[in-house]
Structure 1
Amino acid sequence: MNQATQDFIRQHQDDDVRQLAFLGSKNPEVNMPFALDQIRGRQMARIKLPRWASIDGIIYPPHISMEQCSSEQTALYKAELAARLLGNSSLSSLRGEIVPQGDNSKICEFATKSTVDSEFAQNEGTCGKQQILTKTGVCVNKAKSDACSGDSVAEIEFVDLTGGFGVDFSYMAARLGAKSMYVERQKHLCEAAKENFERLGLKHVVVKNGDGVEVLHAIPNHSGLRVIYIDPARRDDAGNKVVSLQDCTPDVTRLQEEMLQKADFVIIKLSPMLDWHRAVSELRCVREVHVVSVNNECKELLLVLSARNMDENSRLRICCVNDTQSFVCDDAEMASTVTRIAAADLDSAQYLYEPNASLMKAGCFGVLSERYSVSMLSKNSHLFVSQFSVADFPGRSFRIRAVSSFNKKELKRHLQGIVKANIATRNFPLSVAELRKRLKLKDGGETYIFATTLSDDSHVLLITDKILENA
C-alpha cells in the first residue's frame, strides 16, 4: 500500500464510500478499490468489531467477507466455550462476562460446565484481564507462516480449518493461549491475517495458506491437538445459500470421524437456519448444541463433538443464549417433559411471555413450561401465560391488560384511547401489516398487542404492557 492510498484512507475514514468511488480519476495514485474496502470495513467494524476498529493498521477484506464474519460478541462466546472445554476458565470466564456492542447489544459468554444455568456479569474487563487484544500499535510478535510440516502440525493444540477473515480464530487463539494454526485457502485473506494477527498481539500463531481438509489429513493421530474449529461455507458455486450439512463445504459429515480421532473437541459453526435435530442425527458424538442470539436475532448454531469419555449414558446438552439470558437443558429433559396448554378462557392469565429467539429455535418448550410454571396458549402459538409474575423468564415479559375477541364492539371497547401500538402475530392468519391496517393503529408507543390462536382455535388479541428488566 503506497503513501497516497494510506493518506486517502486516513482523510476519508468517515466519508460515504459511495461518493468516494467517484474520486478515482482525481486520485490516480490511490488504489481506489483497496481504499474503499478499508474505509467501508473499518466503518462496519466500529459496530461489529469495535476492538479491531480501535487498532490502526488492521486490513479489512472485501465487503461480503465483512458481512459474513462473526461479530465480536459471538467470537468472544466461542472463545469462552473453547476455554471451558479445555478447563481454562479463569475467574472472569466463570462469571460469563458480556461485551457491549453499540449502545445496548450484548452477548453472553458461557460459564462453567458444572453449572445448570450460565452466570453472567459485565464483560468490560475480560479482554483487559486476558490480554485478548493489545493496545493500539503494540506488536507482541509476528505471526508465523509455516509450511505444513509434520513437526509444526504436531505441535498445534488449536486449529481453525476455515479461517476466513480470522475473527473467530483471533479471539479463540488468544483466549486459549496455546500454539494455534489458522488455515485459509484464499491467499489475500492469509496475507491480511498475518498483518492483523501481528497488530492484535497474538502469540504462538501459525498462518497456513492451504486447504483445511488437506491440513487435517496431515495432522497425525495422537498429536496433542485439543480443539478443531470449522465453519463450513454455506453457499454453493452460484452464491446461493445452503443449509444442509452435506451441501456445505467442506462436508463435515465425511470429516467427522477423522476430526474426532485427531482432536479432543470439535466445534462446528452452522447456519442458524439449520434444523439442529437433523444435524445431530447426521453427526456422531455430539455433546452440546449452542443456539446463540444477539439482540433477539439468532446468529449462530454451534455443535460440540467429542469422542472422549462418550458412553451410552452421555446426555446431549442444549444451551440457548441471548444477550444476558441463558437457558440450559438436556435431551433427556426435553423427552420427559410435556408442554402445559392454557385453558382457552384465559381467566387466570395475568402475565404473557415471549421466549427469546434462541429458545424459539431450540424448541425447549416443555422444559420451559415446567421449569417456570407457565402454560402455552396453544400448541403452535409459542406464547406463554401465568397467573403470577415469573422472574428472569428467558425472553420478554408483559402484563396483560385485556384479552379481546374480534367482535367489533369488544375491539372498540378494549382499544379505546390507543392510537399506536407494537403489534406481533403468532400462529395467526393475518400479517402484522394487514392487522395494523384493520385495527387502524400506528406503529410504536407503550402498548404491545399480540394476535394469536388459543387452544380452542379461537383468534384473540392480547393487549399488554411490557415489563422492563429489573422493574
Structure 2
Amino acid sequence: MENPLLETKVWQYLETHLGMDVSAFALLKSPFENLSSAQLAKQLKGLQVLKEKVPLWFESKKVLCPMGLNLEQCSSQATALYKVGLIDEKYPKKNGIDLTCGLGVDAFFFSRIFEKFTLVEQNEELLTLVKENFTNLKVENVDFVLSNAENFLSNNPKSFDFIYLDPDRRNKANQKRILPEDLSPNLHLIVDVLLERSPLVMVKFSPMMDLFQLIDSFFCSEIHVVAVKNQVKELVLLFDKNKENKNPKIVAVNLESTHKTFEFSLKNEQELAISYHSVQKYLYLPNAAILKAGSFKSITKEYEVFKIDTNSHLYTSIELLEDFPGKGYEILEKVENLKSIAKQSFQLVVRNYPLNIHKIKAKYKL
C-alpha cells in the first residue's frame, strides 16, 4: 500500500509550498484527513533539501524524507557521483557494501555499478524508511542489514570488492565531533579489518576535519578534497591495496565549476622550493578545495604564478592565466587610502589583514 505522503495530490500540494518557510507551513491546517500538519511539514522540509541536494530523488516523487540530521550529513548527488567515478573500471564490481548507509544516497549511486550492494544501518526506523525508498525507486540489487559497522564486521567474515563508510559525526547528545577517534565507527579500530575484507576501502569525512591529521593517522593511497561551487563538502580517503599508501596523492576538485581538478603529492609539496614576488598585473586566489588541500607551493609550478609572500595564499603573474583554478583579478590601481574611493562601487575581498570586511567598511565608511 502506497504511503499517503507519496500520493500525487499530496506531492502537488507540497510542491506548491516548496518556497514557504517550514515553521509557517506547519501552522497550516492539513487538507488531508490521513496526514497531520507535522507529517506534511517534515516531508516539505526534506523535499526542500532534496531538490537542491539530490535532484534525481526529488524528481522521482517517490522518496520519503527523514528528520534533519540524516539529511544534513548525507552526500549530495554531485559528490556521490564523483565518488562512484573514483572506482576504476579495472576493479571487480561483484559485491560492495556501505557500512553506515544513513539515508542511502551514496549507496543508491554505488549500487548502480555493482552486481550486488549491501546497506548496513544501526537505526531501525531509518533503515525501514531507506528500504521503502529503494523499493519505490526500483532498486532491486540490494540487501539491508540492521546493525552497526563494528558488529557487522565481527559477525560476518565475508569479503567484498568495495567497502564504503561515512562515520557518524554526532554523539548521542547531538554534539558535533571532530577528531577521527571520536566518530562512530572509530576508523582507527577497524581499518585493518576493513583492508582484510576488501582491496578497496573509501571513507568520507567532514570538511571540518584536519586534512594533515588524517594523513598522519591513516596510510591511504589518495585523499580527495571535494568542493561544490567553491564550498568544500567532503574529504574522501581511498585505501587501495594495489597502490602506494605512504605518500598519498591529494586531489582537489571543485564540482559544478569550470575549474580543472588539481593533483599533487604531499611529499613533493613539502620538498618544493619556490620563488616569491610582489604583486604584478594579475592577482589570484585559489579555489576552496585547493586551499583546503594545502597546495600552496605545487600550484605555482603547474600554473607559473608567484606566491606574493610566505604567509599569504595569494598569487600573481604578469600574463593573465584564464584557466587558473580560482578567482583572478586584474590590478588596475593600488590605493593607499580606502577613504579616497569610499563613494565608488566595488566588491571588497579581504585576505591577510587584521580587520574583517564589516570592520573595514565601518572604519573607512565604505
Tell me if both proteins adopt one fold, taking TM over 0.5 as the criterion: yes
Unpaired segments of 5 or more residues in structure 2? none
% same residue: 29
1:197 and 1:288 map into 2 onto residues whose CA distance is: 31
Match of 1:162 in 2: 100
Match of 1:100 in 2: none
1:237 and 1:84 map into 2 onto residues whose CA distance is: 40
1:5 and 1:170 map into 2 onto residues whose CA distance is: 19
Partner letter of residue 431 of structure 1? N
Match of 1:435 in 2: 360
Contact 1:14–1:43 under 8 Å retained in 2: no
1:169 and 1:397 map into 2 onto residues whose CA distance is: 38
Contact 1:9–1:39 under 8 Å retained in 2: no
Q: Does 1:358 align with 2:289?
A: yes
Match of 1:77 in 2: 82
SS in 2 for 1:305: strand
CA 1:205 to 1:44, structure 2 compared with 1: closer, same or farther past 3 Å? same
SS in 2 for 1:240: coil
Match of 1:38 in 2: 43
SS in 1 for 2:332: strand
- CA offsets per residue over residues 312-345 of structure 1, 9 Å max, x none? xx631000001242101112321221343223xx
CA 1:425 to 1:283, structure 2 compared with 1: closer, same or farther past 3 Å? same
- CA offsets per residue over residues 184-242 of structure 1, 9 Å max, x none? 11112212211222233324111112212211223326x3x111111111112222211
Q: Does 1:295 align with 2:226?
A: no
CA 1:207 to 1:354, structure 2 compared with 1: closer, same or farther past 3 Å? same
1:321 and 1:193 map into 2 onto residues whose CA distance is: 29
CA 1:184 to 1:283, structure 2 compared with 1: closer, same or farther past 3 Å? same
1:4 and 1:68 map into 2 onto residues whose CA distance is: 23
Contact 1:157–1:179 under 8 Å retained in 2: yes
CA 1:434 to 1:85, structure 2 compared with 1: closer, same or farther past 3 Å? farther
Contact 2:92–2:161 under 8 Å retained in 1: no
Contact 1:340–1:366 under 8 Å retained in 2: no
- CA offsets per residue over residues 143-185 of structure 1, 9 Å max, x none? xxxxxxxxxxxxx7211000000011101111x2321101111
Q: Does 1:235 align with 2:182?
A: no
Aligned counterpart in structure 2 of residue 189 of structure 1, from 126, 145, 160: 126
Match of 1:335 in 2: 270
Aligned counterpart in structure 2 of residue 321 of structure 1, from 250, 253, 261: 253
Contact 2:116–2:142 under 8 Å retained in 1: yes
Number of residue equivalences:
358
- Which moved further from structure 2: 319-328 or 301-310? 301-310
2:4 and 2:186 map into 1 onto residues whose CA distance is: 43
* 1:12 CA displacement: 3.5
Match of 1:56 in 2: 61
Larger strand proportion of the pair: 1
CA 1:25 to 1:201, structure 2 compared with 1: closer, same or farther past 3 Å? closer
Match of 2:329 in 1: 398
- CA offsets per residue over residues 14-38 of structure 1, 9 Å max, x none? 3233233224587663243332222
- CA offsets per residue over residues 117-168 of structure 1, 9 Å max, x none? xxxxxxxxxxxxxxxxxxxxxxxxxxxxxxxxxxxxxxx7211000000011
CA 1:338 to 1:171, structure 2 compared with 1: closer, same or farther past 3 Å? same
1:173 and 1:25 map into 2 onto residues whose CA distance is: 37
CA 1:4 to 1:333, structure 2 compared with 1: closer, same or farther past 3 Å? closer
Contact 1:5–1:31 under 8 Å retained in 2: no
1:177 and 1:200 map into 2 onto residues whose CA distance is: 17
TM-score normalized by the length of structure 2: 0.90
Aligned counterpart in structure 2 of residue 177 of structure 1, from 73, 98, 114: 114
1:5 and 1:87 map into 2 onto residues whose CA distance is: 37
1:171 and 1:4 map into 2 onto residues whose CA distance is: 24
Q: Does 1:378 align with 2:342?
A: no
* 1:364 CA displacement: 0.9
* 1:78 CA displacement: 1.0
CA 1:309 to 1:40, structure 2 compared with 1: closer, same or farther past 3 Å? closer
1:387 and 1:5 map into 2 onto residues whose CA distance is: 59
Partner letter of residue 292 of structure 1? V
TM-score normalized by the length of structure 1: 0.71
Unpaired segments of 5 or more residues in structure 1? 89-155, 442-471
Match of 1:423 in 2: 348
CA-atom RMSD, angstroms? 2.4
Counterparts of 1:51-200 in structure 2 under 5 Å?
51-83=56-88, 86=91, 157-174=95-112, 176-200=113-137
